[in-house]
Structure 1
Amino acid sequence: MRLIPGFFTLLLAGLLSACGADKPLATVDQVDLVRYSGTWYEIARLPQWFQRGCYNSTATYSLNEDGTVRVVNRCQRDDKEPSEAQGTARVVPGSDNAKLKVRFDSWISKLLPTITEGNYWIIALDKNYQTVVIGEPSREYLWILARTPQLPDDQYQALLQLAESKGFPVDELQRNRDLQPEQ
């Protein structure tokens, strides 16, 4: 009968170690939304269903009068007009603008506004507001963005290492320039 307590101890240890993957995700200390505004180019991302077939992706942010942030995401898709998604981000109170909740305009978001909000956490941002890493606590979403369409490889590798140190599966990242169709 000593096997049963040993089994439960192992099971409990396994469950607790799995919880380590859900350790808190640290963000930057603060974000100046005025400096953050403008266009950012996607350098790399974890694959997402809503971005399937997208390349040359950009995100443009601007401040609304009510303190929220207007979000316009654009991308190119093969043999189609550019795709655009518009939404609104609101700052999570107490986060010094480093945590946002984003909702894109659709019929379901109008019906269930808070359920359709996604976490947009700024986990790295250089002091000159030229590169940013965005993620969220489950580590299922990750974007590396820059003010220019490409980054030098040493900068990209440094951002990859940072994301990996925070528990993101960087081996699954797709680089934006690798998503472009052959000419």
Structure 2
Amino acid sequence: MTLFGTAAVVSAEPSVVAVGKEHYRGTWLEIGRTPMWLTDGCVAGYSTYKPGKTAGEINVEDGCRVDTPKGRLKTVTGTGRILDFGKTNAKMRVRYPLFVTFNYWVLYKSPDRSWFISADPDMKNLWIYARSVPSKTKLKTMVRKASELGYDVRKLEFPRQ
């Protein structure tokens, strides 16, 4: 069985799933992602969420190690705003320094809440996060789910943890 597959082209905004307050607390490891210049050379990536000062605000720290899992730590902080606060809580816009903004929509959350898939609304960028490093079997499940959601998983990279 191959880890990578194909997916249908997505033309409409993806559906989101409801997440609770616990989703935006603690650290998530970046298991898979769409390559982009911001993450070039990044391995052992993570996102840490903490409640902000107001309802629907999340403090975000994204970090990674440069080149190796023991390399220099590189971090950036941002302020997230849950765009659908009190409804699904699944659509968050994060503003980082230098006017960099990303939309992170939770498209899938595992039944045991140990991993999730998020993407931007047009599905150009996709991320797979987990609370711990997954087994090879679980990683295949994650990738299969991303494909079922309509993402071309051949575009994903899986940085070392």
Query: Which TM class, normalised by the smaller chain length?
Result: 0.7 to 0.9
Question: Between Structure 1 and Structure 2, which shows a larger proportion of helix residues?
Answer: 1
Quick one: which of 48, 67, 70 aligns to 2:59? Answer: 70
Deviation at 1:35, TM superposition (A): 4.3
CA RMSD, Structure 1 to Structure 2 (Å):
1.9
Query: Structure 1 residues 58, 174: CA separation in 2 closer, same or farther (over 3 Å shift)?
Result: same
Quick one: which of 129, 152, 157 aligns to 2:135? Answer: 152
Question: Between Structure 1 and Structure 2, which shows a larger proportion of strand residues?
Answer: 2
Alignment partner, residue 139 of structure 1 = 123
Give the aligned length: 149
Query: Structure 1 residues 91, 21: CA separation in 2 closer, same or farther (over 3 Å shift)?
Result: same
For 1:93, the aligned partner's letter is D
3-state SS, counterpart of residue 25 of structure 1: coil
Alignment partner, residue 168 of structure 1 = 151
Which 4+ stretches in 1 moved above 4 angstroms? Answer: none
Query: Structure 1 residues 35, 25: CA separation in 2 closer, same or farther (over 3 Å shift)?
Result: closer
Q: For the pair shown, which has the larger CA radius of gyration, 1 or 2? A: 1
Deviation at 1:143, TM superposition (A): 0.8
Unaligned 5+ segments in structure 2 are 1-8
Deviation at 1:159, TM superposition (A): 1.7
Alignment partner, residue 7 of structure 1 = none
Unaligned 5+ segments in structure 1 are 1-19, 110-115
- Contact 1:121 / 1:136 at 8 angstroms: preserved in 2? yes
Query: Structure 1 residues 65, 128: CA separation in 2 closer, same or farther (over 3 Å shift)?
Result: farther
Quick one: which of 27, 47, 69 aligns to 2:16? Answer: 27
Alignment partner, residue 82 of structure 2 = 91
Q: How far apart, in 2, do the equivalents of 1:153 and 1:36 lie?
A: 26
Q: How far apart, in 2, do the equivalents of 1:172 and 1:84 lie?
A: 24
3-state SS, counterpart of residue 174 of structure 1: coil
3-state SS, counterpart of residue 129 of structure 2: strand
State TM-score, norm by structure 1.
Answer: 0.74
For 1:101, the aligned partner's letter is R
